[in-house]
Amino acid sequence: MDSTEIGLWGVPLAMLGGAIRVSTPFIFVSLGEAITERSGRINLGLEGTLVFGAMTAYAVAVMTGSPWLGLLAAAAAGLCFGLFHGWICKFRGVNDIAIGIALMLFGSGLAFFFGKPFIQPSAPDLPAIPFGGWSDVPQVQAALNVNVLFLIGAALAVFLWWAFRNTRAGLILRVVGDSSDAARAMGLNPNTVRLLATGLGGALAGIGGAYLSLYYPGSWTEGISSGQGLMAVALVIFARWNPLGCFAAALLFGGAGALGPALQSVGVTQGYYLFYAAPYILTLIIMIATSSPSRSLAGAPGELSITK
Amino acid sequence: MTERFMLSRRDLLKTSAAGAALGLASASFPISRAFAAAATVGFIYVGPKDDYGYNQAHAEGAATLKAIEGISVVEEENVPETVDVQKTMESMINLDGASLIFPTSFGYFDPHMLAMCAKFPDVQFRHCGGMWNKDKHPMNAGSYFGYIGMGQYLNGVAAGHATKTKKIGFVAAKPIPQVLLNINSFLLGARSVDPAITCQVIFTGEWSLAVKEAEATNALVDQGADVITCHVDSPKVVVETAAGRGAFICGYHANQSPLAPEKYLTGAEWNWAKVYKMFVDDLMAGKPLPNFTRGGLADGFVKMSPLGPAVSEAARAQFDGTLAEMMKGGFSVIKGPLKNNKGDVVATESQTFVETAIELESMDYLVEGVVGSTA
């Protein structure tokens, strides 16, 4: 057998590779959103932040030649978007979901506007670490080419999971998210905490955008996100506001997304539209299986406007 | 209460200024009229007009019209294939006075463009694709397209020489006739070099879906394909991903060689400037516009990217020979005996379909040797 022929093994391999390659933006956006939602606010604008982060990272990388500066700029841009959302939402009678939708459109539009001159040039990529050196099979090597951001995302998920439970900052975040009154009684200002939480969430979403444009698929086009930011926000609810759950859900989505192309490549060519719907069908099944009419969503922060 | 009806001094000033401006404008109207555009032409793109692909090819064509005296060009990009495009067309007609509109994306035709054709019988609409039919559609509509399948055949010739695994890959958007013809042509071109070559196709289901296109390219390379081409709106992602994995690339829509100079073999490109100029010349001369315009390599509707450094001497010779043959006219890519990949005969021994054959515009099969399915 030719060493390049891997046949049906291509499917699990593609799903593994796809999980690693595709999931990173989901990880960052959903972790960011988890922080924001744990503080009692929803920022639906992360789709716009993701697109704007992708554009900023690409533009800065093209101009400076350094992908790391691009990453930093994307995080800073995301932070600004997040802080803006947090600042507007502190006013009385402002609906965080509506502001989020506005910021989503604003972020995408602004990114398209500033991104025009950067569609054509090529930017340097973020580096990847080859973990597949032990294997002689080029497909395995390619699948295990892991970008540093994926590793950072994985570490961040574990850290946040630990920090939510075991640190003072985590406690403050959870108190504010569960009850503004209790937080005020403790002498905390819920608006400040939410402002910072939304800013941090935006910064993480910006990093997710940088991954899209600087690593995979690795170029700036206006259709780069195709709704991944929105899906990541939904993943947070799916993951029950648990950072480890966010990580797992992101991997699941990435892997399921790779299923369609991989099956076609091994000759399972009928019904590919159905395979492309696989991640969404999976979500529906899990949502239905884990929900119950007799209790509210487990783990939902009490101040969240969708659960109130 | 009475205050509301009283004009403040500021409002009075504003109103009179506006009136003066209006008067000035109407006074100068006859003069500016003489210099105004004799015709306004509208272009509608489904994506960004600098996407290294489909929309860029059209926008480059539209840009050449701007140099023609008396022609003014209005463009709108990122218009979805929904009722949005109807609104865009209406505003181009009502606000910009467009008399000729080119909705360039496949999905604009039915029902959107047809609805506008009925609503504005004096405006001409020409759609990029092969959908217009004399018996079914109004006369102020029409379609134009290039026979780019020939270009994909030449891509296939270059690919056939470059492949070592005898497996080539195609990232396709949707199984519509033009895409299927491109896939079939790519394989048949490669099989003109070596009949053992197979072509794996992956449909992404959408014209522009960056992540899925990258996944599809990776999946093809994983399965051993070492030359990749595509038919999606923006080949940038496919080209960069394939080159990153070490595969050769044949381009599509526009010249993508700057993205991967070492790995780029050649590419099938549009030359819309020629087509749009033809329509506009007819429009200016007051002649009726053709409803059904087609052309291929020989007519200058389609061109090939310069051959890349990885193309061998043997490949270059066969490429040039085939190209010369095509330029003479009458070359057939789809000719008998030919079966589809389900084993049914699609062309008998004696049947040949030249590029102008209308049968090719309703193609619904993949030929033998293509691994993939149309549904």
Residue A267, chain B, CB below 8 Å: the answer is yes
| CB contact set of A292 (below 8 Å; sequence gap of 6+) | none
Task: Report the pLDDT value the prediction gives residue B35, as an integer from 0 to 100.
Answer: 42
B370 and chain A: CB distance < 8 Å anywhere? no
Contact A21 B218 (CB under 8 A): yes
Q: Do A222 and B47 touch (CB under 8 A)?
A: yes
- 8 Å CB contact between B249 and B204: no
Q: Is the pLDDT reported for residue A96 higher than 70?
A: yes
pLDDT band at A235 (very low <50, low <70, confident <90, very high): confident
**How near does any CA of chain B get to the CA of A209, in Å?**
13
Instruction: With beta carbons under 8 A apart, name residues in chain A contacting B213.
Output: 217
Scan residues 297-326 of B and list those with Cβ closer than 8 Å to A: none
Secondary element (H or E) of residue B370: strand B370-371
- Residue A219 has its nearest CB partner, among B78, B224, B240, at B240
Tell me which DSSP letter residue B109 carries: I
- The closest CB to that of A10, out of B203, B222, B372, belongs to B222
Q: Is B241 on the interface with A (CB under 8 A)?
A: yes
CB B116 within 8 A of CB B86: yes
Residue B211 has its nearest CB partner, among A2, A112, A217, at A217
Selected residues 143-172 of chain B with any CB under 8 Å from a CB in chain A: 165
The pLDDT of residue B188 is above 90: yes
- The minimal CB distance from A122 to the residues B259, B372, B373 is found for B259
- A133-156 pLDDT, tens digit per residue, is 888 888 888 888 899 999 999 999
> Domains of chain A by range and CATH?
7-290 (1.10.3470)
Which one has a higher pLDDT value, B330 or B5?
B330
Instruction: Write out chain A residues lying below 8 Å of B237, CB-based.
Output: 217-219, 221
The pair of three-digit structure tokens given for residue A295, joined into one six-digit string: 């209790």
Read off the pLDDT of each residue in A60-67 and give the average, rounded to a whole number.
94
Mean pLDDT over A13-37 rounds to 91
The CATH architecture that domain B149-269+302-371 belongs to is 3-Layer(aba) Sandwich (3.40)
Q: Which residues contact A16 (CB under 8 A, 6 or more apart)?
A: A143, A255
> Position A20: which residue type?
I
Same fold across B38-146 and B149-269+302-371: yes
Residues of A in contact with B48 (CB under 8 A): 112, 116, 119, 221-222
Quickly count helices (H) and strands (E) in chain A.
Answer: 13, 2
Question: Which of B224, B234, B371 is the closest to A267 by Cβ?
Answer: B371
CB A101 within 8 A of CB A120: no
B38-146 topology per CATH: Rossmann fold (3.40.50)
pLDDT exceeds 60 at position B20: no
Is A5 within 8 Å of chain B by CB? Answer: yes
Q: Which residues of A touch B261 (CB under 8 A)?
A: none
> ipTM greater than 0.90, yes or no?
no
- Confidence label for B27 from pLDDT (cuts 50, 70 and 90): very low
Domain boundaries, chain B: 38-146, 149-269+302-371
Cβ of residue B78 closer than 8 Å to a chain A Cβ: yes
Q: Which residues fall within 8 angstroms of residue A67, CB to CB, at 6 or more apart?
A: A57, A61, A123, A124, A125, A126, A127, A210, A214
Cα B333 to Cα B354: distance, rounded to the nearest angstrom: 7
